[in-house]
Amino acid sequence: MQENNKQKYTKLLKQKALELGFSGVQIAEAKELTAEARKLEQWLNSGFHGQMHYMGNHFEKRIDPRKLVEGAKSVVSLMYNYYTPKVQEDTTAPKISKYAYGKDYHFVVKSKLRELLEYMQEEVGEISGRCFVDSAPVLERDWAKHSGLGWIGKNTLLINKKQGSFFFLAELIIDLDLDYDAPIKDYCGTCTRCIDACPTNAINENGYLVDGSKCISYFTIELKDELPQELKGQFDNWMFGCDICQDVCPWNRFSTPHQEPEFDPHPDLLTMSKKNWEDITEEVFRKVFKKSAVKRTKYKGLLRNIKFLKD
């Protein structure tokens, strides 16, 4: 492809992504992630994935996007802001992670991503590609890091200098040659706030490594068994997910409220009292969490979590 075409298509893609509501978009060359593959292997061998057995599936595809999209040339990484300053009114009520306040992000972000791919196909012609929103074996944080969207912080989340970390990541893997962006440096410095604040010590004392099987989000969302009794009193009142390592991160002072109506919480969600949560019925669960990511833990799972916090 001629150089000027490459520039033109890169500009078109980035402009359209921002128009669709993405808060950042950068591009990396599609290739095998050799160093990251070794890290992932070590993480899996240490059992840090707990019962998330899917993390070990499709290893080859996970480390090489060209095995997901034949002839892939570019990995487009995108950010979609979900930050809100809104909080639950009853400070004693069981807490829910901000990312799950509104409609399930998988649907919201994926439809925008599909629109972006269709737009590029109309503008450029024959492009093969796939859209990913936390939905396939893609090392999304590593790709976002390679594209320069941010750096991977000590809490292992991607942090953006201007926007913090309250955003979803999405990827477009396409067989179109584009202008590639470069990674940026790590700005965590000597800060250890996320490490110090984690109630279950899930973050390694040196940072940059999380034992997923100790994370409050893992326990309240992924774990299907009974919650371990020895961790009683260590969940800081989180019933679904956990925002502690983001709430304490200094970079999140740059977070700005999202502009996505689909992410606004159900009117009842933030006003429910501790007692309302403890007495929640399946009917109320279905009403408040219609089309929400919380449905993943199901009514029974949420009840288990609330009971664990209460007893």
Residue 127 has pLDDT above 50, yes or no: yes
pLDDT at res. 1 = 47
> Are 103 and 119 contacting, i.e. CB atoms less than 8 angstroms apart?
no
Output the CA torsion sign for 257, 261, 262, 264.
Answer: positive
Say how far apart CA 114 and CA 180 lie, in whole Å: 21
- pLDDT mean over 124-153: 92
Give the tens place of pLDDT for each residue, 3-20.
Answer: 678 999 999 999 999 999
The pLDDT of 226-253, averaged and rounded, is 97
Q: What is the mean pLDDT of residues 222-229?
A: 93
Q: 261 is written with which tokens?
A: 């109506």
- Which pLDDT does position 46 carry in this prediction? 81
Q: Domain boundaries in the chain?
A: 3-174, 193-250+267-310
User: What integer pLDDT is reported at residue 34 of this predicted model?
Assistant: 83
Of the residues 90, 104, 134, 264, which is catalytic? 134
Strands (E), 233-297: 238-240
Q: What is the pLDDT of residues 47-61, one digit of tens each?
A: 878 777 777 776 777
For residues 96 and 281, give the distance between their C-alpha atoms in angstroms, rounded to a whole number. 17
d(CA 91, CA 70): 50
Rounded Cα–Cα distance for residues 263 and 108 (Å): 9
Cβ(28)–Cβ(77) under 8 Å?
Answer: yes
- Residues 99-118 have a mean pLDDT of 96
Residue 256 has pLDDT above 60, yes or no: yes
At residue 20, the pLDDT reads: 98
- What value does the mean pLDDT of the chain take? 94
- In this prediction, residue 204 carries a pLDDT of 95
| Residue 3 confidence (pLDDT) | 64
Question: Is 155 in contact with 203 (CB distance < 8 Å)?
Answer: yes
Q: Return the SS3 of 43.
A: helix
Q: Catalytic annotation on 134?
A: yes
Q: pLDDT category, 2, cuts 50, 70, 90?
A: low
